[in-house]
Amino acid sequence: MEPTIKMPKAKITKEEALAFHLEPTPGKWEVQATVPMTTQRDLSLAYSPGVAVPCEAIAENPETAYDYTNKGNLVAVISNGTAVLGLGNLGALGSKPVMEGKSVLFKRFADVNSIDIELDTEDPDEFCRAVRLMGPTFGGINLEDIKAPECFIIEQRLKEEMDIPVFHDDQHGTAVICAAGLINALHISGKKIEDVKIVLNGAGAAGIACIELLKAMGARHENCIVCDTKGVIYQGRTEGMNQWKSAHAIATDLRTLEDAMKGADVFLGVSVKGAVTQEMVASMADNPVIFAMANPDPEITPEEAHEVRVDAIVATGRSDYPNQVNNVLGFPYLFRGALDIHARAINDEMKIACAHALARLAREDVPDEVALAYGKSLTFGRDYIIPTPFDPRLIHRIPPAVAKAGMDTGAARRPIIDMEAYELSLKSRMDPTASILRGLNARARAAQNRIVFAEGDDPRVLRAAVMYQRSGFGKALVVGRHDDVKAKLEAAGLGDAVRELEVINAANTQHLQTYKDFLYKRLQRRGFDGKDVHRLAARDRHVFSALMLAHGHADGLVTGATRKSAHVLDQINHVFDADAAHGAAGITALLHKGRIVLIGDTLVHEWPDENDLATVAERAATVARHMGLEPRVAFVSFSTFGYPVSERTEKLYKAPQVLEARGVDFEYEGEMTVDVALNAHQQEAYPFCRLTGPANILIVPARHSASISTKLMQEMAGATVIGPILTGIDKPIQICSTGSTANDILNMAILASCDMA
């Protein structure tokens, strides 16, 4: 694996983390109805009297609960907070942010609805009783952050008492990903699991689960040496023992981790930083496999291990090293597969199937979007034995393997008959907009561009600039006065960031005269004299920033948060040809319910003719391709293919003819109403339509209709709006709206960095 660029690590501050959980509303998830709840009839069906019918049906046949309620796609994330991350016993309430986070991970990665539940007890009996009594509500239980040995007792008892999957992710999630990585590590080193000597350091929940799963996969009991803080767990040892450790005691004279490591093929660490020395690594067998999974710092770093053993295959729990053992590769997809067969449990066979499916995926070619996200060329080998969490194939490759194993072992209440159709349904479950946004973030991070934030007197802009730089996207250049920037950052709780940002203004740049000479040459025949040019270059931040960009002193520009877009565009036009006559256009992306639709022109053309509309369509197609979409353009109005007849629709009828004459290489059609453009069933009524599917680009008659459309979708439907994306000019410039949040401004900076033109 050859890195193409060394990207800086993202820095997350305390203030940023708290703001993320506070805004826009406290917490990380909310509840939404999936049925209409507007009329009296809706209420009568949703509640009394209509609700009595499914209640009686479920009482008669409990299996129908999966048909008439959300049980079949609902998982509880349950903890008592006794072992929260690496923070220890924070209590039930202190664990809630983590459990909320786990709930949204379920939704984000596998479209599993999830509710976090924090139980205020450390008594295993009380805990088990509470969870067991909630069983009818859920399709599965994900136990989280419960300390050992209570976690063993709780999970075992609940598995026995409940008829839905109960899964302690701290144990089995780590074990599954560890197993997947080990399958591939042994594949590379040419060894078999039944032959290798395995050393485990750390006999807590995760460690015990790891060794038990590997034994279920063929590792021999006598070849597995388990160590804890007191050394090797051997037969006859009494100190610090419990029944779970005793199950893995072997007959051996070895007493220390150092002794155990000699000649070992595999080391698994779920213990503490520094537990493994370079001497231990040097004593291992050829092609040693080292999974140093202690968090946040591994038992030994990959650099330290490779200093003494270049043949070592090393994995850690950290995202800044290759081969991250990340539980998010496992638990969402395990539960997705289990829920979809209405499983009674998640058994060893299902976990092993998950591990093998993950291992197979890592051995396949990696999609370009994944390689781009990581700034590296990822190919199967010593530094890539585990798939990355953002591999889009995970959702439709892992759950079917889990479901099949569940069906083969009798864990399924409702087997899947058509596995191919199931895989297709899984592909459709995931929101494609997430991968689009992730791809844009990845491109910006790989580009490492210098972005000018023109309005350095606005706290939102300053926060966005800090986030841009601290997120590792590149260099933030802020136009403003140093003292003012410092004061506003301090007021925002980001006082330390002033040293990180580069604050630029007309008084401290060495290029002002060059800028003025350039501007005078452009404007001297437009009625501007030397004084006018000085005022523009030295006092107008939009013009000054545009001049920086024009002279290559920055790679992109973000502005507009403090002034109306029309004014900002006028100022930028002093430096660039960013107007309708030169083919500039504003394209807005609407993201809603898993769909993305581009609308143009939302910024530049006020009343375009057919030639302008064709140009806007070409600009929108370029933006679509930058987002990874294959453009399908619809010219939309109130008429469809000539009816009703109106002179207002004539230009929309002619625009496709202009595109045809230009010989463009994307699909287009018009004129048509929005429902025909976006609805495949409506399109069936027009078999001559040239679109092969719903349009993803809508070209509207004028800027007023574009503005109305986007803002209506934003306010009434809750659509996510990205843009307007200014395209068709020489340099990347993005103009925010005056109502933008710091996060909105950051997104526009990312678009500028990606250069969507």
Task: List the beta bridge partners of residue 224.
Answer: 198
Q: 495 with 414, same domain?
A: no
Quick one: which of 727, 752, 428, 720 has its CA closest to 596? Answer: 720
pLDDT tens for 391-414 read: 888 999 999 999 999 999 999 999
On whether residue 56 sits in a domain, the answer given is no
- Domain termination residue (choose one: 267, 297, 319): 319
Q: Is 410 left (phi over 0), alpha (psi -120 to 50) or beta?
A: left
Q: Is residue 431 annotated as involved in ligand binding?
A: no
d(CA 622, CA 697): 11
d(CA 85, CA 557): 40
Mean pLDDT of 317-323: 89
For residue 91, what are its two tokens? Answer: 């209590």
Mean pLDDT of 215-240: 96
Q: 307 with 366, same domain?
A: no
Q: Is residue 116 annotated as involved in ligand binding?
A: no
Residue 345 belongs to domain with CATH number: 3.40.50.720
Residues 6+ apart with CB under 8 A from 496: none
Q: Is the peptide bond before 296 cis (omega within 30 degrees of 0)?
A: yes
Backbone φ and ψ for 291, nearest 5 degrees, come out as: -105, 90
Residues 6+ apart with CB under 8 A from 243: none
Q: Is the peptide bond before 392 cis (omega within 30 degrees of 0)?
A: no
- Between 2 and 177, name the one with better pLDDT: 177
State which amino acid sits at residue 49.
P
Residue 485 belongs to domain with CATH number: 3.40.50.10950
pLDDT tens for 266-300 read: 999 999 999 999 999 999 999 999 999 998 899 99
Among 137-141, 291-295, 738-742, the range scoring the smallest mean pLDDT is 738-742
pLDDT higher than threshold 50 for residue 32: yes
Q: Is residue 347 annotated as involved in ligand binding?
A: no
Mean pLDDT of 187-214: 95
Quick one: which of 338, 387, 403 has its CA closest to 163? Answer: 338
Mean pLDDT of 233-246: 94
Q: 186 with 226, same domain?
A: yes
pLDDT tens for 700-729 read: 999 999 999 999 998 888 888 887 899 999
Q: Is residue 493 annotated as involved in ligand binding?
A: no
Count of CA atoms in the C-beta half-sphere (13 A) of 180: 31
Mean pLDDT score across all residues of the chain? 92
Q: Is residue 228 annotated as involved in ligand binding?
A: no
Residue 141 belongs to domain with CATH number: 3.40.50.10380
Q: What does the angle CA 19 – CA 29 – CA 595 come to, to the nearest 5 degrees?
A: 105
DSSP-derived letter for residue 434 is H
Q: 706 with 661, same domain?
A: yes
pLDDT higher than threshold 80 for residue 10: no
Integer-rounded Cα radius of gyration of the chain: 30
Q: What is the pLDDT, as a whole number, of residue 373?
A: 61
DSSP-derived letter for residue 501 is S
Q: Is residue 86 annotated as involved in ligand binding?
A: yes
- Asked if 84 contacts 145 with a C-beta cutoff of 8 angstroms, the reply is yes
Mean pLDDT of 343-368: 93
Count of CA atoms in the C-beta half-sphere (13 A) of 628: 18
On whether residue 736 sits in a domain, the answer given is no
Q: Is residue 728 annotated as involved in ligand binding?
A: no
- Asked if 72 contacts 63 with a C-beta cutoff of 8 angstroms, the reply is no
d(CA 534, CA 528): 10
Quick one: which of 169, 154, 246 has its CA closest to 206? Answer: 169
Q: Which of 102, 245, 376, 516 is catalytic?
A: 102
Number of folded domains that form the chain: 5
Backbone φ and ψ for 79, nearest 5 degrees, come out as: -150, 160
Mean pLDDT of 201-205: 93
Distance of CA 599 to the CA centre of its chain: 25
- Domain termination residue (choose one: 164, 182, 213): 164
Quick one: which of 139, 148, 201 has its CA closest to 170? Answer: 148
Q: 255 with 370, same domain?
A: no
Q: 87 with 201, same domain?
A: no
pLDDT higher than threshold 70 for residue 368: no
Residue 612 belongs to domain with CATH number: 3.40.50.10750
* End-to-end Cα spacing for the chain: 31
On whether residue 365 sits in a domain, the answer given is yes
Q: 179 with 303, same domain?
A: yes
For 616, 651, 677, the CA distances from 607, given in Å and listed in that order, are: 12, 11, 22
State which amino acid sits at residue 534.
H
* The model's pTM: 0.77
On whether residue 54 sits in a domain, the answer given is no
Q: 449 with 431, same domain?
A: no
Backbone φ and ψ for 632, nearest 5 degrees, come out as: -135, 105
Task: Tell the residue number behind the tokens 């994944």, with chain if given.
Answer: 370
Backbone φ and ψ for 67, nearest 5 degrees, come out as: -90, -35
Q: Is residue 84 annotated as involved in ligand binding?
A: yes
Among 229-238, 600-609, 615-624, 737-746, the range scoring the smallest mean pLDDT is 737-746
- Between 443 and 78, name the one with better pLDDT: 78
pLDDT confidence band for 575 (50 / 70 / 90): very high
Residues 6+ apart with CB under 8 A from 664: 617, 618, 621
d(CA 654, CA 648): 11
On whether residue 18 sits in a domain, the answer given is no
Residues 6+ apart with CB under 8 A from 601: 585, 586, 587, 608, 612, 616, 619, 699, 703, 706
- Asked if 497 contacts 485 with a C-beta cutoff of 8 angstroms, the reply is no
Burial 732-749 (b: 16+ CB within 10 A, else e): bbbbbbeebebbbbbbbb
Each as own residue / partner, the long-range contacts of residues 567-574 (CB below 8 Å, 24 or more positions apart, any chain) are 568/542, 568/735, 569/603, 569/604, 569/735, 571/536, 571/540, 571/542, 571/543, 571/546, 572/542, 572/543, 572/546, 572/733, 572/735, 574/519, 574/522, 574/523, 574/536, 574/543, 574/546
- Asked if 58 contacts 64 with a C-beta cutoff of 8 angstroms, the reply is yes
- Domain termination residue (choose one: 164, 187, 215): 164
- Where in the sequence is the domain holding 479, given as residue range(s)? 440-574
pLDDT higher than threshold 70 for residue 564: yes
Mean pLDDT of 191-206: 95
Task: List the beta bridge partners of residue 114.
Answer: 75
**How many other C-beta atoms can be found within 10 angstroms of the C-beta atom of residue 315?**
28
Sign for the pseudo-dihedral over CA of 597, 600, 603, 607: negative
Residues 6+ apart with CB under 8 A from 484: 456, 457
Mean pLDDT of 734-754: 90
Q: What is the pLDDT, as a whole number, of residue 744?
A: 86
For residue 116, what are its two tokens? Answer: 């976090």
Q: What is the pLDDT, as a whole number, of residue 538?
A: 95
Q: What is the pLDDT, as a whole number, of residue 424?
A: 87
pLDDT tens for 433-475 read: 667 777 788 889 889 999 999 999 999 999 999 999 998 899 9
Q: 223 with 302, same domain?
A: yes
On whether residue 8 sits in a domain, the answer given is no
Q: Is 267 exposed, middle or buried (0-12, 13-18, 19+ CB in 10 A)?
A: buried
Q: Is 196 left (phi over 0), alpha (psi -120 to 50) or beta?
A: beta
Quick one: which of 131, 147, 133, 31 has its CA closest to 81? Answer: 147
**3-state class of 505 per DSSP?**
coil
d(CA 246, CA 533): 83
d(CA 746, CA 634): 30
d(CA 267, CA 281): 9
Mean pLDDT of 206-235: 96
pLDDT higher than threshold 70 for residue 339: yes
Q: What is the pLDDT, as a whole number, of residue 427?
A: 83
pLDDT higher than threshold 60 for residue 24: yes
Q: 500 with 592, same domain?
A: no
d(CA 406, CA 428): 22
- Of these ranges, 179-188, 433-442, 586-595, 618-627, the one predicted with the greatest mean pLDDT is 179-188
d(CA 222, CA 194): 10
Beta sheet of 166-168, edge-to-edge order = 113-118, 74-79, 140-143, 166-168
On whether residue 27 sits in a domain, the answer given is no
Q: Is residue 426 annotated as involved in ligand binding?
A: no
d(CA 186, CA 175): 16
Q: 615 with 720, same domain?
A: yes
Q: Which helix (H) or strand (E) holds 22?
A: helix 14-22
Q: 268 with 387, same domain?
A: no
pLDDT confidence band for 232 (50 / 70 / 90): very high
Burial 18-35 (b: 16+ CB within 10 A, else e): eeeeeeeeeebeeeeeee
Q: Is residue 569 annotated as involved in ligand binding?
A: no
On whether residue 176 sits in a domain, the answer given is yes
Q: What is the pLDDT, as a whole number, of residue 4?
A: 40
Percent of the chain with pLDDT strictly greater than 70: 97
For residue 544, what are its two tokens? Answer: 């000054």
427 is catalytic: no
